[in-house]
């Protein structure tokens, strides 16, 4: 059976690449160096798990999904994926990517989800946007591993409940655990803490609800799904910022990890939003194994 | 009120640099062209065979699109992401040149400040 070697849940900040790579050093924001070093430290948490393929969870930002036919949950099943759209290249300076797909795990995942009562849509021509490419840039910038992309609707209400997102994560975990393969799989999902877009609290010095962000990180870091399900609703998220329902994909990632304490937790308070970097190691913490190896040598 | 039609206009114009430039240069002409040549066809993907009669703008919606009235669009419940993205695409560079980074985004934000502490208009269709 496949090994789930790491689960990563992170915010996605589309300006990271522009702020740290495309802007000349003398013009960079004061936090650029710290931001970059936190991202590089986070990347190490994935590298240490030695993944061979990636299950990626994200959300389309009105690039390929529109109200004429908006899927609630969708999986890509393709041999390869193109990435990033014209308007996110225009606005964020996003790079383009061509990522290899893993059709076998996509097919196994799709069937497994249907069997568990998650009636997914499926695409054979899915183009990937920055919700998946941001974490590729931060955690696997070479884009050298095959992916299985899973898209959720966190954007066009009404949305499924927080519990449904958690249960979907649990189902994805079971399916990865049952995948008949000797591969090491990592699951990486991106979403948001409190966030406002196109409203009166956007682009402030901090995110729209910094206190809620600290609470939300603590819930996730402790694997405290009970508190999340008691406190997080569509209304509560919307009160913290109109785009805060992006938190649902972080709840989904906790579902994949299970109700466990995270092995790695970091964050960075930036203008407009707080960034979060979190990793679980369902198969044991490989960084501790490294330490043991070094100590023995 | 036809939020779907307004959202579809924003979606279709923002994803095409030629249409976006036309909407910046002459909003009234672009809205008229969209209503004549794009709205009457099924879906937002630019196909021109299958017709669809469901996408029509009210006079007030047309005015908001012609005047780049993003406050009005927010208040009618057009999707905040579509509205923000297209007007950043139109105005950010000019504001950057005259007033520095994020100048347009901050003006946009401040024009909506009367909504702080209130429940925003729903974007649900």
DSSP code string of B57-98:
--HHHHHHHHTT-HHHHHHHT--HHHHHHHHHHHHHHHHHHH
Q: pLDDT tens-digit profile of A81-116?
A: 999 999 999 999 999 999 999 999 999 999 999 999
Number of domains in chain A: 1
The confidence band for A297, taking pLDDT boundaries of 50, 70 and 90, is: low
Residue A258 reports pLDDT greater than 70:
yes
Residues with Cβ within 8 Å of residue A17, at least 6 apart in sequence: A92, A93, A94, A95, A134, A137
Q: Which residues of A touch B80 (CB under 8 A)?
A: 197-199, 242-243
Burial of A131 (0-12, 13-18, 19+ CB in 10 A): buried
Chain B residue numbers touching A61 (CB-CB < 8 A): 81
Is residue B98 in some structural domain? Answer: yes
- Measured between alpha carbons, how far is A76 from B100 in angstroms, rounded to an integer? 40
Rounded to the nearest 5°, which phi and psi values hold at A82?
-85, 155
Closest partner residue to B116 among A157, A198, A200, by Cβ?
A: A200
Per the domain annotation, does B111 fall within a domain?
Answer: yes
A286-294: average pLDDT:
74
Determine the average pLDDT of the residues in A175-186: 98
Range of the domain at A133: 3-296
Residue-level pLDDT at A294? 65
Residue B20 counted as domain residue: yes
What pLDDT, on a 0 to 100 scale, did the predictor assign at position A288?
Answer: 85
Partner-chain contact B83 A198, CB within 8 Å: yes
Count of structural domains within chain B: 1
Percent of chain A residues past pLDDT 90, beyond the cut: 96
Q: What is the pLDDT of residues A181-218, one digit of tens each?
A: 999 999 999 999 999 999 999 999 999 999 999 999 99
Answer whether residue A49 shows pLDDT above 90.
Answer: yes
With CB atoms and an 8 Å threshold, state whether B105 touches A202: yes
pLDDT in tens, chain B (125 residues): 689 999 999 999 999 999 999 999 999 999 999 999 999 999 999 999 999 999 999 999 999 999 999 999 999 999 999 999 999 999 999 999 999 999 999 999 999 999 999 999 999 99
Task: Dihedral sign for Cα A7, A10, A15, A17, please.
Answer: negative
Examine residue B70 and state whether it is found in any structural domain, yes or no: yes
Considering the domain boundaries, does residue B124 fall inside one? no
Distance spanning both ends of chain B, measured CA to CA = 10
Domain with B46 in it: 3-115
Query: Would you say residue A1 has pLDDT above 90?
Result: yes
Which CATH number belongs to the domain containing residue A126 in this structure? 3.40.830.10
If you average pLDDT over residues A30-43, what whole number do you get? Answer: 97
User: Does a structural domain hold residue B125?
Assistant: no
Residue-wise pLDDT for A51-83, tens only, equals 999 999 999 999 999 999 999 999 999 999 999
pLDDT in tens, B56-81: 999 999 999 999 999 999 999 999 99
Quick one: which H or E segment has residue A216? helix A210-221
CB of A27 within 8 A of CB of A159? no
CA–CA distance, A73 with A152 (Å, rounded to integer): 5
Angle, helices A130-139/A32-47, rounded to nearest 10 degrees: 80
Three-state DSSP state, A79: coil
For residue B95, is it within any domain? yes
Specify the pLDDT at position A290. Answer: 66
A292 has pLDDT over 80? no
**Chain B residues whose beta carbon lies within 8 Å of the beta carbon of residue A67:** 4, 7-8, 125
């Amino acid at each position: 059976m496949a090994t789930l070697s790491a689960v990563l849940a992170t915010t996605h900040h589309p300006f990271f690449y522009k702020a740290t790579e495309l802007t000349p050093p003398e013009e960079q924001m004061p936090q650029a160096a710290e931001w970059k070093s936190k991202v590089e430290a986070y990347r190490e948490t994935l590298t240490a798990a030695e993944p061979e393929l990636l299950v990626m969870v994200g959300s389309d930002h009105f690039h390929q999904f529109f109200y004429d036919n908006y899927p609630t949950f969708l999986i890509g099943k393709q041999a390869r994926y193109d990435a990033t759209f014209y308007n996110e290249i225009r606005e964020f300076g996003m790079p383009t990517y061509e990522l290899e797909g893993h059709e076998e795990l996509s097919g196994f995942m799709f069937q497994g989800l249907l069997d568990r009562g998650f009636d997914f849509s499926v695409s054979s021509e899915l183009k990937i946007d920055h919700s998946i490419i941001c974490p590729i840039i931060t955690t696997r910038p070479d884009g050298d591993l095959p992916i299985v992309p899973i898209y959720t609707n966190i954007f066009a209400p009404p949305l499924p409940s927080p519990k449904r997102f958690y249960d979907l994560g649990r189902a994805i975990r079971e399916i990865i655990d049952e995948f008949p393969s000797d591969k090491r799989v990592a699951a990486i999902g991106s979403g948001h803490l409190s966030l406002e877009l196109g409203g009166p609290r956007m682009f402030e010095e901090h995110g729209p609800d910094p206190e809620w962000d600290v609470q939300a990180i603590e819930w996730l870091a402790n694997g405290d799904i009970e508190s999340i399900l008691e406190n997080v609703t569509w209304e509560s998220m919307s009160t913290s910022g109109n785009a805060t329902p992006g938190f649902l994909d972080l709840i989904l990632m906790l579902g994949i990890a299970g109700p466990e304490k995270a092995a790695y937790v970091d964050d960075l308070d930036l203008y407009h939003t707080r960034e979060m970097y979190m990793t679980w190691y369902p198969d044991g913490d490989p960084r501790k194994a490294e330490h043991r190896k070094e100590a023995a040598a | 009120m036809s939020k779907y039609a307004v959202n579809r206009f924003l979606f279709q114009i923002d994803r095409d640099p030629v249409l976006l430039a036309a909407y910046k240069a002459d909003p009234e002409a672009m809205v008229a062209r969209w209503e004549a040549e794009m709205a009457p066809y099924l879906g937002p993907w630019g196909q021109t065979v299958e017709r669809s009669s469901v996408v029509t703008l009210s006079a007030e919606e047309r005015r908001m699109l012609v005047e780049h009235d993003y406050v009005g669009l927010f208040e009618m419940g057009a999707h905040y992401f579509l509205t923000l993205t297209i007007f950043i695409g139109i105005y950010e560079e000019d504001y950057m040149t005259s007033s520095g980074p994020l100048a347009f985004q901050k003006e946009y934000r401040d024009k909506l400040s009367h909504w702080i502490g209130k429940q925003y208009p729903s974007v649900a269709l």
